Structure 1
Amino acid sequence: MSSPPSFSSLPIDIVVEILARVPKRSHPILSCVSKNFSRLVRSPEIYKIRSLLRKDSLFICFVGKTGAQWFTLRRAENNNPTTEEKNRFVSIDLAFPSQTEQEPCVVAIGPEIFFICGSFNPSSTMWILDSRTGTFRQGLSSRAERLCRSVGVVGSKVYVIGIYRDADEMHVESFDAKTQTWELAPVPEDQGWWWSWAPTVSLNRKVCALRVSGNARCYDPRDGSCESLGLPSKDKWLCRTGACVMNNVLYVYYARFGLMWYDYEMRLWRVVSGLSHLKKVRSVAMAEYYGKLAFLWEDVEVGVSGKTKEVWCRMIALERSERGVHGIAEASQLLGSVLRGYILHHCLSVSD
Structure 2
Amino acid sequence: MNNPVTSSPITSLPEDVAVDILARVPRCDYPRMSLVSKRFRSLVSSPEIYVRRSSLGCTEHCLYVVLYEWDGGVDRLYTLCWKDKDKGLVLIHGLPDMPRDRSFVAVGLRIYVFCEINSFSIDCTSHTVQHLPRLPVPMSDTVADVIDRRIYVIGYISSKSKAMVVFDTETQTWATKPGMELFDDVYADFQDNFVYDPKESKWETDEMLNSNFWGGNVCVVDDVLYFYDDFCDQELRAYDPERKCLGLVKGLDDLFAEMRCVGCGWAKIASYGGKLVLLFSKGREICCVEISLERRKGSQILGRVDQWSDHALIAGIFSLRNL
Structure number, greater radius of gyration = 2
SS in 2 for 1:57: coil
Note the residue ranges of structure 1 that are not aligned, 5 or more in a row. Answer: 1-48, 77-81, 197-210, 301-308, 348-352
Q: Is 1:241–1:284's contact at 8 Å kept on the other side of the alignment?
A: no
Please identify which structure carries the higher helix content. Answer: 2
Alpha-carbon shift at residue 93 of structure 1 (Å): 2.6
2:96 corresponds to? 96
**Partner in structure 1 of residue 18 of structure 2:** none
Q: For 1:50 and 1:260, how far apart are their aligned partners in 2?
A: 38
1:311 maps to 2:309: no
Partners of 2:151 and 2:169 within 8 A in 1:
yes
Q: Report the CA distance shift for 1:272/1:164 in structure 2 as closer, same or farther (over 3 A).
A: closer
Matches within 5 A, 1:105-120: 105-118=103-116
Equivalent residues in 2 for 1:167-316, closer than 5 Å: 170-187=162-179, 191-192=183-184, 216-221=193-198, 222-228=200-206, 230=208, 240=215, 242-255=217-230, 256-279=233-256, 280=260, 281=264, 283-300=266-283, 309-316=284-291
Q: Check whether the contact 1:146–1:162 (CA below 8 A) recurs between aligned residues.
A: yes
Report the residue type matching 1:91 in the other structure.
L
SS at match of 1:56: coil
| TM-aligned CA deviation for residue 135 of structure 1 | 0.4
Number of positions where the alignment pairs a residue of Structure 1 with one of Structure 2: 256
Q: Distance in 1 between matches of 2:143 and 2:216?
A: 17
* Higher deviation after alignment, 175-184 or 285-294: 285-294
Identity in percent? 23
Quick one: distance in 2 between partners of 1:67 and 1:194? Answer: 33
Query: 1:229 & 1:74 partners in 2: Cα distance?
Result: 39
What stretches of structure 2 of length at least 5 have no aligned partner?
Answer: 1-53
Q: Secondary structure at 1:277's aligned position in 2?
A: helix
Deviation at 1:152, TM superposition (A): 2.0
**What residue in structure 1 maps to residue 80 of structure 2?**
73
Q: Matched residues in 2 for 1:50 and 1:232: separation?
A: 46
CA contact (8 A) 1:188 1:226 kept: no
1:16-31 equivalence runs, <5 A? none
Aligned position for 2:61: 56
Matched, 1:327 2:322: no
Matched-pair contact (CA < 8 Å) for 1:149–1:195: no
Using structure 2 for the length normalisation, give the TM-score: 0.68
The amino acid that maps onto 1:59 is Y
Contact 1:299/1:312 (<8 A) preserved? yes
1:312-338 deviations in Å (ceiling 9; x for gaps): 111111010214111111353121225
Q: C-alpha separation between the residues in 2 aligned to 1:328 and 1:176?
A: 37
Residue 313 of structure 2: which of 329, 336, 344 is its match?
Answer: 336
1:179 partner SS: coil
Contact 2:105/2:113, CA 8 A, preserved across alignment: yes
State the secondary structure of the residue aligned to 2:62.
strand
Query: Which range moved further: 282-291 or 155-164?
Result: 282-291
CA RMSD of aligned residues (A): 3.2
TM-score (structure 1 length as normaliser): 0.63
The Cα shift of 1:292 comes to: 2.2
Q: Which residue is 2:140 aligned to?
A: 147
Deviates more, 1:216-225 or 1:176-185: 216-225
Residues 154, 126 of structure 1: alpha-carbon distance in 2 compared, 3 angstrom cutoff: same
Asked if structure 2 preserves the Cα contact closer than 8 Å seen for 1:146 and 1:163, the reply is: yes
